[in-house]
Amino acid sequence: MLPDAPGAVSEAELVGWSVAGPVARVEAEYFGGLGEQWATVWEGGEVVLGPLHLPEGEELPAEGSPISRALRRLGVVAGAGEDEFSAVGLGQHRATEDWLS
């Protein structure tokens, strides 16, 4: 979620929530298969992963995309043939129109 978007969660809120357990902010902006990803994970009031950024056109690192890395840090385990993004069902919401159904 973009920081200035209606309903956006502030970094201060994420820090506060992370005292009770790890939280992540993940963002992706893609169109036509091209785009970027960002991710940060907080735990105990501190950043424990990131901020990570995968710019458009940059090769995917061996450790995975920023979103996959953040989800792994939260404990997500992907099955064979899928990534963490798909494992938690985020693939069902790739298009904004899907969020409304």
Percent of the chain at pLDDT exceeding 90: 55
pLDDT in tens, 50-81: 999 999 999 989 998 999 999 999 999 998 98
pLDDT confidence tier of residue 2, bands split at 50, 70 and 90:
very low
CA gap 71, 58 in Å, rounded: 20
Decide if 25 contacts 14 (C-beta within 8 A).
yes
* pLDDT tens-digit readout, 9-21: 899 999 999 999 9
Residue 91 confidence (pLDDT) above 90: no
Give the separation between CA 45 and CA 63, rounded to whole angstroms.
25
Please give the residue that has the higher pLDDT: either 36 or 88.
36
